Amino acid sequence: MRGLFITLEGVDGAGKSSHVEWLAAHFRSLGRSVLFTREPGGTPLGEKLRDIVLHDAMHPETEALIMFAARREHVEQVIHPALARGEVVISDRFTDASFAYQCGGRGLPEARLEILENWVHGDLQPDLTLLFDVPGEIAQARLAAAREPDRFERERMDFHSRVREAYLRRAMRYPNRIRVIDGSRTLDEVRAQLAVTLEPW
């Protein structure tokens, strides 16, 4: 069976993590093996880099380079092998997050990241990206009720608005790959949207 690469994206507080179990169960019910992973992270080295990039102050370009360094390991050690085994790989974030956060949020030129993207995974793109979209106020309210905020979650509202807009621009640019899910709905309503979106897969 052909491997399937699915990524989950959205601003912090968009609620993507609430649907991971449901997504995995959906594919298992179709007889597929599911591997769930995340970025930044997904490998022992990647998790160390995650800790650094989420908590230490750094230049925006350093931040982008660390994201792609972690991704290099992740693609090589986890994603490619699992796809070769025919599994469904579900990654909580991938390169769209770099374009949304480092370009949209921090203002780095897209051309820089396109170079890194080609370098790190020129031969690999997600088959499907589920973009959980919520208005800024809802995302902020969810974050306020959640755990201790990291460096990104502590950013001001205008940063999160730019990240959201950058995600939505990418969804317009890649309409076949990126599907926008209205994350402001109830859990059941979001699942209904997911079920429809996943039907062809």
Interface with ligand TMP by CB under 6 A: which residues?
12, 38-40, 67, 92-93, 97-98, 101-102, 152
CB of 27 to ligand TMP, least distance (A): 21
Identity of the residue, 51 or 196, whose beta carbon is nearer to ligand TMP in the bound complex = 51
CB 177 within 8 A of CB 127: yes
What is the token pair recorded at 131? 């973009």
Identity of the residue, 3 or 46, whose beta carbon is nearer to ligand TMP in the bound complex = 46
CB of 192 to ligand TMP, least distance (A): 23
In 3D, which of 32, 40, 35, 42 has the Cα closest to residue 56? Answer: 40
CB 14 within 8 A of CB 92: no
Identity of the residue, 34 or 97, whose beta carbon is nearer to ligand TMP in the bound complex = 97
What is the token pair recorded at 136? 């800024």
CB of 99 to ligand TMP, least distance (A): 8
Identity of the residue, 67 or 78, whose beta carbon is nearer to ligand TMP in the bound complex = 67
CB of 80 to ligand TMP, least distance (A): 17
CB of 188 to ligand TMP, least distance (A): 23
Residue 54 one-letter amino acid: L
Within 8 A by CB and 6+ apart from 158, the residues are none
CA distance 129 to 112: 22
CA distance 90 to 81: 13
Identity of the residue, 152 or 174, whose beta carbon is nearer to ligand TMP in the bound complex = 152
